[in-house]
Amino acid sequence: MSRVLTTESAALQPDDVRIIRALQIAPRASFASIAAALGLTEGAVNRRYRRLRADGVIRVAGVVNPGALGQSRWLVRLRCRPGSGSAIADALAERDDVNWVALSAAGCEITCATQSRTREQREDLLGQRLPRTAAVIDINAFAMLRQFLGGRGHYWSALQGTLTPEEEAALGSDGPPFTESPVVTREPLRLTPEDEKLLAALAADGRAGLVDLAAASGLTPGRVSRRLDALLRRRAVHIDVEIAAAALGYHARANLWLRVHPSALKSAGRALAQEPEIAFAAALSGPWNLHAVAHCRDLDELFEFTSDRIGSLTGLQSMEVSPVLRHVKQAGTRLFGDRLVEPPGARTRR
């Protein structure tokens, strides 16, 4: 059965949500293509997209996958002294090698995800800077072993059912993407200086046109098109559509830390990936071997979801539900309150 999303925000109209879903499916599609698929005018799609972006509801950005470059990814839990959590979380969010930061436990716990591009960068953060921070009481770092949901080709399935199958097909969708993937590839890709400039431009605006990308990277539009296709195919980068979940009525967010019997770990991770409330799921090293991020409308829905559906997962031995007090950064995008913040110099593509 299709899941039709409703929103509590009076400023967000049904066509806004349809456009967000269209962008999830085809993030770099032209406004004309989206308009044709949805039965809207190109001008209407253009205006609504610009307003959604200006209001911090959505942001399209290119996100580098360090695993394709041969680097591992880590999830870190910090316990801080009372009153120090916000400052540490904000400092972590300023780092390019930290792409996700959440504050919980009354501001005394920080969860962050690192995507260091070099071993030296990771060791500097995890082995030197954080342990030497006086306000940090305890630090635990877990290697991501398998990603079940999130990252490349992912779209938040809470929006599934917003468009008809015919509308999704017109945008190029042939069904949900394959999302489970190894965290680190066996054949890492080497980036050129032009690749680095191209990826930096995509990080600022994932919908940047070929002419703008060519100017940023020093290549011709034709070479940029071919190189971008290659980077996407090798999964070195994915075009991510970030959504401010609270703008769509999802006000209760939580980190889920699960301990699952090893024989059931893959099946439990795949089951989590099918749940509309789950935005990210990965297998980890350490005692909590499965981690997920859940978005629910309120705490009561979070309770029902975790007790009924997550609690019945085969092989589940224990679970910790840690509600998020403040989401500081997601997929490389800072948040202010419950809205996404555009990086300086980002431009809007037609």
For the chain, where are the E strands, in sequence order? 58-64, 74-80, 98-104, 109-114, 136-149, 181-182, 237-243, 252-260, 278-284, 290-296, 316-330, 333-336, 339-340
In a domain, 194, yes or no: yes
In this model, does residue 347 exceed pLDDT 90?
A: no
More confidently predicted of 346 and 95: 95
pLDDT digits (tens, 9 = 90+) for 190-221: 999 999 999 999 999 999 999 999 999 999 99
Which one of 199, 228, 243 terminates a domain? 243
Neighbours of 293 (CB within 10 A): 24
* 61 and 72 inside one domain: no
Q: Can you give 39-99 as a three-state secondary structure string?
A: CCCHHHHHHHHHHHHHCCCEEEEEEECHHHHCCCCEEEEEEECCCCHHHHHHHHHCCCCEE
One domain for residues 19 and 89? no
Beta bridge partners, 282, equal 147, 291
The enclosing domain of 79 has a CATH number of 3.30.70.920
Is residue 1 domain-resident? Answer: no
- Taking the model in full, what pTM does it have? 0.86
Q: Which residues on neighbouring strands pair with residue 254, listed in sequence order? A: 294, 323
Of 190, 222, 243, the domain-final residue? 243
How far is it between the farthest Cα atoms of the chain? 57
What integer pLDDT is reported at residue 234 of this predicted model?
87
Q: Beta strand pairing status for 333-336 and 316-330?
A: antiparallel
> Which residue among 228, 243, 258 closes a domain?
243
Expressed as residue numbers, the domain containing 311 is 149-153+250-326
Percent of the chain with pLDDT over 70: 90
Contact 203, 28 (CB under 8 A): no
Tens-place pLDDT, residues 136-184: 999 999 999 999 987 544 566 678 789 999 999 999 864 445 457 778 8
Average pLDDT, the chain: 88
Q: Do 55 and 110 belong to one domain?
A: no
Cα(92)–Cα(85) distance, integer angstroms: 11
Q: Could you give the CA distance from residue 341 to residue 245 in angstroms, rounded to a whole number?
A: 14
Q: Are residues 322 and 260 in the same domain?
A: yes
| Total domains present in the chain | 3
DSSP H or E run through 302:
helix 299-304
- The share of the chain scoring above pLDDT 90, in percent, equals 64
- Per DSSP, the chain holds a count of helices (H) and strands (E) of 11, 13
Q: Are 59 and 190 in the same domain?
A: yes
Judged by average pLDDT, the poorest of 94-98, 153-157, 276-280, 334-338 is: 153-157
Work out the burial of residue 316: count CB atoms within 10 Å of its CB; fewer than 13 is exposed, 13-18 middle, 19 or more buried: middle
